[in-house]
Structure 1
Amino acid sequence: MIDQVTVDKVLETANSQIVEVVSDYVTLRRRGINFLGNCPFHNEKTPSFTVSPHKGIFKCFGCGEGGNALNFVMKHDQLSFVDAIKYLGKKFNIHIEEEEYSPEQLKQKNERESMLVLSEFAGQYFSKNLTETDEGKSVGLSYFRSRGFRDDIIDKFQLGYSPEMRDALTKEAQKQGYKLEYLEKTGLSVVRDSYQADRFRGRVMFPIHSLAGKVIAFGGRILKNDKKTAKYLNSPESEIYHKSRVLYGIYHAKQEVTRKDRCYLVEGYTDVLSFHQAGISNVVASSGTALTSDQIRLIARFTKNITIIYDGDPAGLKASLRGIDLVLAEGMNVKILLLPDGEDPDTFAKERSEEQLTDYIEKHQQDFIKFKTSLLLADAQNDPIKKAQLIQDIVRSISIIPDTITRSVYVKECSTLLKVDERVLMQETGKLQQKKQEEDFRRNTPRPGTPPPQQAPVSAGAQQSPTQVAGQSTPSNPLELEEREILRFMVKFGERPVNPQEEESVTVGQYILHELKQDDLLSANPLYNKMMEAYDASGANAQTPALKFFVNNSDPDLSKLASDLIGKEHDLSRIHNKFGVVTHAEEKLAELVPKIVMELKWKKVKFVIREKRQQLQQLEVSGNMEEMMEVMQELTTWQQVLAHISKELGGRTIV
């Protein structure tokens, strides 16, 4: 663990030198006080990626990405918080001394690092064997070349060869000082009493890399015909390798997946290699395992768009139907490409140039509704029972989709394709969703006497998404505009006095926090609450510039939100238009700050009044006079509050 003082020092240094950090990845040109370049996170021809050295932030006005230097490195290189801090510390020659670990933590850390170092050694050993030994060249290298793979692809993916000798790697590793214990734990060696042997002997080797590019496991293909031996063999599960959470090629694909905003998913190692050789690198493979939710979530970190490419045989058809629902459940936009019968992605990619392959995919990939409908209709033919089952199958897939709008679009399309009343499909989708919600509720509701589950503590610097902060999905936020405006003022002017003319004026931050706390105005967005709480906990005083506090914050969520709020200098609310001058808001803080807080309160009260009126209508139906009188009194009180706030706002009507 890295102490907070060091984290703050690294953040402050990196953000003050953000142009230097970003220039390692992007060609920047000065434009006024800022720097401009092509965004590395999406494909663009006209530069919309801006780096602001005086604010210490970057912002892309094309795809919306933004944040500080740390956010940039984490996003671009897909590094954890700690690894990104270490990278920036090394870049700016800041010594990073990690806090002491507990004996248990130290043991786990050392074990993991030992396994990673050993895996890296094994990768180099296999690679060297492939190109520098007679056996490797005559068996392994000749195999890869017979499959048509170029040397640059062999080098890029660190392909290798494990000798036929029973314990060649095991002996060499021990000779180099690696412990037999870790050879067994990584699955590189099979150990039984006095018996020691290499797991992968006589196979060509495919190293499996983590997101950070570290070798964590291997896949090995045997070259001789032996029906008793598995054709492909993978490393067993270990401390560093969990096959359900890993995708082959993700390290080599992540940047291009982000840039192209699409991921191609294939089945095997050679499929990935052939796509890369054809010039298409936004491709990953499930490495011969059935597709899992964790693997889909891994892709979702880079894009919401996925095209699954299957062989055109019956097994491919079956796999396609299994995978679709999993992808939909994760909120992904999925398309299916079924290759012609007898083809697989490996051979198909080898026969085409990058342009031909891309063009074929674009023309033949199908939306999941059209794909599933055409596939199942062919099977149903004119059988009404089979057609009914087909409709139920498709409706079940639609009901899995988490987004309401996307579901309704698919229902409409399904209605058109299958000539079924849209209302019927919507009703059936609703039933399935309700059933799932009830099942989830029963599953997650503890029985009487059962203690609530303990939440694991979050380590310092660990990333949390807004939904994780609250422990649930963020609901829609009707006060989004007003809340973002308040937060923007707090970030830009938090330490400034609201009224410089007063001798002991409170700061903008103190005023906002006091006003929102006294009326208990929590946001529907947990990240906004988190930002308020963090500033409140810091003291919100005039000594620390709020902009510096937020942009240099060690919480990546807060620094990114702060950068988003101030990234677009003229993205101002309607409040400022009344005053005409947009660029000097700080000169009118005494007028603006109370107004933006009042606007939030005004809108909040409007929502409460609307809710009370709806409650009153329901009570009129039930005829409960006692409750009606109570709600009417509350409604009158809230209307008086609204009138008072409207008067404070100068009688303005705000929509």
Structure 2
Amino acid sequence: MISKTTIDTVFETARVEEVIGDFVQLKKSGSNLKGLSPFTDERTPSFMVSPVKQIWKDFSSGKGGNVVAFLMEHEHFNYPEAIRYLAKKYGIEIEETEQTDEQKEQANERESMYLVSEYANKFFQQQMHETDEGLAIGLSYFKERGFTAETIKKFQLGYSPDEWEALTRAALEEGYQLEYLEKTGLTIVKEERKFDRFKGRVMFPIHSMSGRVLGFGGRILNNTKKAAKYLNSPESDIYHKSKVLYGIYYAKQEIAKEDNCYLVEGYTDVIQFHQSGIENTVSSSGTALTPEQIRLINRLTKNITVLFDGDAAGTRASLRGIDLILEQGMNVKVCTFPDGEDPDSFAKSNSDEELKEYLEENSRDFISYKASLLVEEAKNDPVKKADLIRDMVNSISKIPDSIQREVYLQECSRIMDISENVLYATLAQLQKADGKKVDHQPRQQNMEVVREEQVPKVKVDRLYILEKTIIKILMLYGSMEEDFEDLLLKQNEETGDLVLEPETHHAKVFEKIFLDLQEDEIALSNDEFRELYQLLIDRLNKGEEVAVETLVNEIEPDKAAKITDILMEEEQYELHNWQKHDILVKLKEHSVSQWVNQTILNLRRHLIDLKIGQLLEEIKTVETEEESTDIKNEVMGFNNLKMLLSERLGRVT
């Protein structure tokens, strides 16, 4: 585990504008920087970076946070990976926390396996580009496949010499241990003999989501030998086939940006698609698709398009993978290529534009695809048709979302020309057999028509906005001292009427807010705001400075994202450059005390409105006239108080 000292040093050193500047072109905008969103396609900048606050906000996607949050969103690192990336960028030595001897040994072993794999990757590339054998066999093969020099370099393709111990001997001479060469599967050790697993093969390194080499795939080029055409690294502590997708490191940004992932079968399919500009493509590397691989894609998008070649038999078998994708709550489309074509060959024989056009025009919903594939088998046989329908409903039953299930059932009913009631009944049987809760009932023929006026209108949550404003004021101006004019409620001695008399006192902003809310026994209703409020009040009460740039680094990511959302709200005005059009945005720091009073008074008035509403509901259920009179008097009292607050608010404004 990375020590807190290292994490603190990383946050103190890393500059959000420098890190994001490596990925996004930023331009000066007042005290901030702006650029095009890296998460969506847009022409007008909606991405803001605050060097002062050390936070960023993307108004087009709603994402925001600190420097680590950006790397987690953009590079899809987990938290430790993001910290390690920043430590490497700024030359910070990573200090690990105290571990048991067993934990240290395990960590050292995994790191040693990574180092051996990285060395092998460089060795295979060097052998292909700098030796006669590599140039003549390895590089020639990749060029014959139509791969450019840029593509070969990008995917770090290489060649393993046709010698028994080329890699093993070189690695041992460089000081790498045979134990880790064997554990990664690079070297096979049998009694006194040791030899290279990938002897005489072109090499495809397999990367993790963060870009570390986990293992390799090797293709033999001499078909006369009795050996497997493709050979993968064996399972190890760092390489688990079921949890890895080939190309995910190169595809992750484009998958998130396009909100879709193309899933193919082989290494060359992925590489050829990337070279053709379809970079949101990954492969299961010849293994059957697993739930772990699907969940890896699910971190980036909910949409998968499975690409099949023209081999009908292979396609039929792959339908099981579609059911697995549906079971994980993903949206599935299917695209098949003409007979005799696979993604690699089709991409190579068509232009980039033709490939993109083909994918758009031929990607179909899995229901219509499955029907077209299986209906030919059923033809006019009623029994086979019934089996086909049951098969389709079985796929639909895998979908966790009930609304999606209903939509697909309706589509299935239309395509197969069968009653929806029958399909609902079949689905219920399948759910019952699987021990699931049956949540579909046959549809009733007479459905109630929902009239337009019955649809509830969306209301602005004023309480949420007011509570959000309180948090914002505390973060920006909590420790500031101001003169506050309070209007105190007093009784006129002559008339006996209640009147408002001004009284000025000096206080810190957080003290004013805390005392006012405490006086009225007001607790924030939003759970997130309530936690942030307590955190801010505690810090300010201890005399600690609430520095936004450090606060977002010290709390949980979800709370940090909420703080960023609040603080970058006003920066959105800068994106539109309203001042250029003579539209001035009033900055709140020009009248902090006025802003505080206005917010507190509005909160009080809103809470009174809510209380009056509750009392008016109660009066409908009372049984005696006496109870009704009591409630009416209480409502009248609250209305009088509301009038006074409105008068007080008018004076503040």
Under TM normalisation by the shorter chain, which class is it?
A: 0.7 to 0.9
Q: Distance in 2 between matches of 1:238 and 1:601?
A: 64
Q: Residue in 2 aligned with 1:4?
A: 4
- Of stretches 265-274 and 89-98 in structure 1, the one that deviates more from structure 2 is 89-98
Deviation of 1:131 (Å): 2.2
**1:647–1:9: structure 2 CA closer, same or farther, 3 Å change rule?**
farther
Q: How does 1:515-594 map to 2 (within 5 A)?
A: 523=527, 543-545=544-546, 547-548=548-549, 550-569=551-570, 584=588, 586=592, 587-593=594-600
Identity, in percent, stands at 46
**1:561–1:130: structure 2 CA closer, same or farther, 3 Å change rule?**
same
Aligned-partner residue type, residue 140 of structure 1? G
Aligned-partner residue type, residue 83 of structure 2? I
**1:146–1:603: structure 2 CA closer, same or farther, 3 Å change rule?**
farther
1:350 pairs with 2:361: no
**1:598–1:405: structure 2 CA closer, same or farther, 3 Å change rule?**
farther
Q: Residue in 2 aligned with 1:172?
A: 170
1:374 pairs with 2:372: yes
1:121 pairs with 2:119: yes
CA contact (8 A) 2:539 2:546 kept: no
CA contact (8 A) 2:259 2:301 kept: yes
Q: How does 1:312-323 map to 2 (within 5 A)?
A: 312-323=310-321
Q: Distance in 1 between matches of 2:465 and 2:435?
A: 32
Q: Distance in 2 between matches of 1:312 and 1:109?
A: 46
**1:218–1:92: structure 2 CA closer, same or farther, 3 Å change rule?**
closer
Deviation of 1:80 (Å): 3.0
Q: Distance in 1 between matches of 2:413 and 2:519?
A: 51
CA contact (8 A) 2:612 2:638 kept: no
Q: Distance in 2 between matches of 1:516 and 1:168?
A: 80
- Of stretches 251-260 and 184-193 in structure 1, the one that deviates more from structure 2 is 251-260
Deviation of 1:278 (Å): 2.0
**1:482–1:519: structure 2 CA closer, same or farther, 3 Å change rule?**
closer
Q: Distance in 2 between matches of 1:605 and 1:228?
A: 86
Deviation of 1:400 (Å): 2.8
CA contact (8 A) 2:276 2:352 kept: yes
Give the unaligned 5+ runs of structure 2.
439-458, 485-504, 574-584, 624-629, 647-653
Deviation of 1:178 (Å): 0.7
Q: Distance in 2 between matches of 1:513 and 1:293?
A: 50
Deviation of 1:50 (Å): 2.0
Q: Equivalent residue of 1:36, what SS?
A: strand
Q: Distance in 2 between matches of 1:229 and 1:518?
A: 76
Q: Distance in 1 between matches of 2:634 and 2:425?
A: 42
Q: Distance in 1 between matches of 2:214 and 2:246?
A: 11
Aligned-partner residue type, residue 471 of structure 2? M
How many correspondences in the alignment?
Answer: 586
Give the TM-score taking structure 1 as reference length.
0.77
Q: Equivalent residue of 1:303, what SS?
A: coil
CA contact (8 A) 1:26 1:38 kept: yes
Give the unaligned 5+ runs of structure 1.
441-477, 573-580, 617-628, 630-636
Deviation of 1:73 (Å): 2.4
Q: Distance in 1 between matches of 2:3 and 2:616?
A: 49
Deviation of 1:516 (Å): 13
Give the TM-score taking structure 2 as reference length.
0.77
Q: How does 1:133-282 map to 2 (within 5 A)?
A: 133-226=131-224, 228-282=226-280
1:66 pairs with 2:64: yes
CA contact (8 A) 2:539 2:545 kept: no
Q: Distance in 2 between matches of 1:571 and 1:147?
A: 49
Q: Residue in 2 aligned with 1:406?
A: 404
Q: Residue in 1 aligned with 2:626?
A: none
- Of stretches 271-280 and 222-231 in structure 1, the one that deviates more from structure 2 is 222-231
Deviation of 1:536 (Å): 7.7
Aligned-partner residue type, residue 248 of structure 1? Y
Q: Distance in 1 between matches of 2:43 and 2:263?
A: 26
**1:20–1:385: structure 2 CA closer, same or farther, 3 Å change rule?**
same
Q: Distance in 2 between matches of 1:186 and 1:431?
A: 48
**1:31–1:536: structure 2 CA closer, same or farther, 3 Å change rule?**
closer
**1:146–1:93: structure 2 CA closer, same or farther, 3 Å change rule?**
closer
2:103 equivalent among 94, 105, 112: 105
CA contact (8 A) 1:11 1:554 kept: no
Aligned-partner residue type, residue 10 of structure 1? V
Q: Equivalent residue of 1:552, what SS?
A: helix
CA contact (8 A) 1:513 1:532 kept: no
Larger Rg: 2
Q: How does 1:416-431 map to 2 (within 5 A)?
A: 416-422=414-420, 425-426=423-424, 429=427
Aligned-partner residue type, residue 117 of structure 2? S
Q: Distance in 2 between matches of 1:607 and 1:430?
A: 43
CA contact (8 A) 1:507 1:541 kept: no
**1:95–1:535: structure 2 CA closer, same or farther, 3 Å change rule?**
farther
**1:103–1:642: structure 2 CA closer, same or farther, 3 Å change rule?**
farther
**1:648–1:307: structure 2 CA closer, same or farther, 3 Å change rule?**
farther
Q: Residue in 2 aligned with 1:458?
A: none
CA contact (8 A) 2:5 2:95 kept: no
Q: Residue in 2 aligned with 1:490?
A: 471
Q: Residue in 1 aligned with 2:494?
A: none
Deviations 1:623-652 (A, max 9, x none): xxxxxx9xxxxxxx9999999989876799
Q: Distance in 1 between matches of 2:435 and 2:135?
A: 58
Q: Distance in 1 between matches of 2:607 and 2:415?
A: 46
Q: Distance in 2 between matches of 1:609 and 1:185?
A: 74
**1:589–1:214: structure 2 CA closer, same or farther, 3 Å change rule?**
same
Aligned-partner residue type, residue 295 of structure 1? Q
Q: Equivalent residue of 1:35, what SS?
A: strand
Deviation of 1:205 (Å): 1.0
Deviations 1:100-151 (A, max 9, x none): 3332222122111111111011111111222222322332222223322222
Q: Equivalent residue of 2:34, what SS?
A: strand
CA contact (8 A) 1:35 1:50 kept: yes
Q: Distance in 1 between matches of 2:16 and 2:74?
A: 14
CA contact (8 A) 2:540 2:546 kept: no
Q: Residue in 1 aligned with 2:383?
A: 385
Deviations 1:473-528 (A, max 9, x none): xxxxx9988557634532442536899646677658857997999979675xxx77
Q: Equivalent residue of 2:127, what SS?
A: helix
Q: Distance in 2 between matches of 1:124 and 1:50?
A: 39
Q: Distance in 2 between matches of 1:339 and 1:360?
A: 9
- Of stretches 97-106 and 153-162 in structure 1, the one that deviates more from structure 2 is 97-106
